[in-house]
Amino acid sequence: MSNAQPPAVGKTASHAAEPRAVAKRRDSSAPDTTVVTGAKAVEAAPTLTELAARIGQDAELVDAGHLVAKRPANVLGLLLRDLSREEIAVMEDRGCRADDWKLIQVAQDFDPFRVRRVHLHGRCVLGRFAGEVEVMPGISLATGIYDSTLIACQVGNDCLLENVRFAANVIIDREAVLFDVGSITCSGAATFGCGLDIAVGPETGGREVPVWAELTVGHAALIARERGDGEG
């Protein structure tokens, strides 16, 4: 009978060679280019063609536009209701007024005591205001709307608006803070700068850089640098 021992499980007789760094590049037609070094993936600088393909993808501004088109009266997706007579009386007693209270909708847990000296014009949506919101490190203030004028605005939950003298056609997302603002307005034709061309280095015949919501300094530098790439 042989006395040979079976090979030990999980052990090798010699050390395996260290894996070499492997660099792979996706097909040039793909929008993303990734360099894989060992086990770590590093994003490579895109070409102009790849950069152009990315524009509009995963764009927060585009997504927000879709929400506005889908549910213009309730972009923030709140559970809304009309104001009760008691709530209207409380708000009027605290210096608030509206052109038509029937055009004002509020969140289910709306607290009318958190709204003071506010003028409401047109169709407005007011969220739930409870607790405090941090306005700067170590300083928090009670959420609500105070001493402000809102025209066709939607205000999300737990926001703080104070001394906003004129806000029109604005959607204010949850926990936002607007403090001591002269005016903040938006029109139906607003593009927030998207679609404009900015001349970069015109004294040297620089290439114009198109503006879109997710434009970065690196992207602008790439476009301005590659002036000879007409297609990109």
Q: What is the mean pLDDT of residues 131-159?
A: 95
Choose from 23-32, 67-76, 147-156, 212-221 the range with maximum mean pLDDT: 147-156
pLDDT, tens digit (0-9, with 9 covering 90-100), for 70-96: 778 888 889 999 999 999 999 999 999
Please return the burial class of 67, using the count of CB atoms within 10 Å of its CB with bins 0-12, 13-18 and 19+.
middle
Say which range, 1-10, 64-73, 138-147, 176-185, has the weakest mean pLDDT: 1-10
Report in angstroms the alpha-carbon separations of 32 from 53, 61, 95, 117.
Answer: 9, 21, 56, 52
What is the pLDDT averaged over residues 157-174?
Answer: 94
Per residue in 20-74, pLDDT (tens digit) is 333 333 343 444 433 444 555 556 666 766 766 666 666 666 676 666 777 788 8
125-143 residue pLDDT tens? 999 999 999 999 999 999 9
pTM: 0.65
What CA–CA distance (Å, rounded) separates 155 from 170?
8
Q: What is the enclosing helix (H) or strand (E) of 151?
A: strand 144-151
Whole-number Å distance between alpha carbons of 120 and 232: 48
